[in-house]
Homo-oligomer: A and B are copies of this chain.
């Protein structure tokens, strides 16, 4: 029955999603603020349409949080669905083969900013409620909370959750902001890295200078910044910030062996992202480098003349955005302090340095022996025909740690994306297969979960 309903309605599901993707809900850039609000309104309308109740836009100091619920019986367990309707900036626009906000379906994939991260995955949940309605409705209570500031740090979500603990009381959080290994190999992420993100500014001379008149006598802030950044890794690609690794949880040999059983083909990995060679911390495999090890990357750098042609200038200032991915038991605050202190301390003579922290997030490991994990695992096993592998992902969903702290509940990361979906990059896409597989799997999660909870599993 589900399968027929899905097939018959696939075209409409996709066209509804495309309509939503056309709204450029970029939270990082104030010029899209009106679009962010339109995207929230659109979601509210669709949640009402599938029968959720108390649908509202909860105001925050930033973008509104879309809330909805359906309480069928207060004695039954409650699932809190989380997701986000905001998207990453789309630049560089020139690298998109079709407009980031003019979604198209090509070769079975939906191309648009947000197609996978996270509008496409949120919309699986909306349509999962529609599917459940065909089967007698949700089998337990549900609360839905979709925010509009995930891509800029979820700061107001934290405040909202803290202020609404009763309203959000639930037994488990269900979210789909992650992926599976590939379409033949389902998996569920049980670990996520944390994040510490900073913007640094290096100032040399008080104004831009002519590089001929002054070159050689002043410390060029771009050269200085490069030197400072270069010093953050040693020759074994370890991070040199004192104390950085102090709280890193080292896995046992058995745990590492288990982790390295996940399917991984180096040539395939390189081909999928056009990489000349893998590169990373000495002593760890690629699978380990992106999951159980912390990292430091420059996410952006700028300074001086960057236009056409040649300008012989020594810039007054140079800038970089530098982020670190964290693993248990590092904390965002601890690492941010270590970074700031260290980066200030390595400022060479002739320049001054300021460090401005952006949002951070905590690393997290979720349990694999919970009822909710079992419900999700069984649902995937049904729809994929294979038991999903628990994996540790390299990305950060800081709110997962926050839900644990604030609401005291674990999350299940039932995502359907692929690493190759190019989220945060030009030509982001999401497979129609994956979108539909999500709509097929999520209702089973609710049914399994309600059943297992009732059985006292």
Contact = CB atoms under 8 A, between A and B. Distances in A.
Contact of A280 (B216, B307, B423): B216
Nearest to A117: B210
A216 B281 contact: yes
Interface string A171-215: 000000000000000000000010101010000111111111111
Contacts of A276: 204, 349-352
Given A215-B290, A273-B205, A152 B309 contact: yes
A300 interface: yes
Interface of A: 28-30, 88-89, 91-92, 95, 151-153, 193, 195, 197, 199, 204-220, 222-223, 225-227, 229-233, 269, 273-281, 286, 289-290, 293-295, 297-316, 318-321, 323, 325, 348-352, 358-359, 393-396, 419, 422-427
Contacts of A350: 275-279
A209 B209 CA distance: 35
Given A229-B223, A302-B301, A212 B310 contact: no
A225 B215 CA distance: 21
A401 to B, nearest CB: 14
Contacts of A229: 222-223, 226-227, 230
A103 B291 CA distance: 57
A422 B289 CA distance: 48
B305 A217 contact: no
A28 B309 contact: yes
| 3 tightest Cβ-Cβ pairs between the two chains A and B | A206-B274, A212-B395, A300-B304
A311 B300 contact: yes
Given A193-B212, A211-B297, A227-B230, 20 more contacts: A28-B310, A207-B426, A208-B424, A209-B273, A210-B395, A210-B424, A211-B323, A216-B289, A216-B294, A216-B325, A217-B286, A218-B275, A223-B298, A278-B350, A279-B348, A299-B312, A299-B313, A300-B303, A300-B313, A301-B306
Contact of A301 (B219, B304, B323): B304
10 contacts: A153-B310, A195-B312, A204-B275, A210-B423, A212-B396, A218-B278, A219-B279, A227-B230, A299-B305, A299-B312
Given A222-B301, A310-B153, A311-B299, A214 B290 contact: yes
A275 B323 CA distance: 29
Contacts of A153: 310
A197 B312 CA distance: 9
A74 to B, nearest CB: 38
Contacts of A295: 211, 215-216
A215 B290 CA distance: 6
B419 A297 contact: no
Contacts of A88: 311
B311 A306 contact: no
B206 A273 contact: yes
Contacts of A152: 309-310
Given A30-B308, A300-B311, A307-B29, A195 B207 contact: no
B290 A310 contact: no
A446 to B, nearest CB: 28
A227 B219 CA distance: 17
A320 B348 CA distance: 21
A317 to B, nearest CB: 10
A104 to B, nearest CB: 18
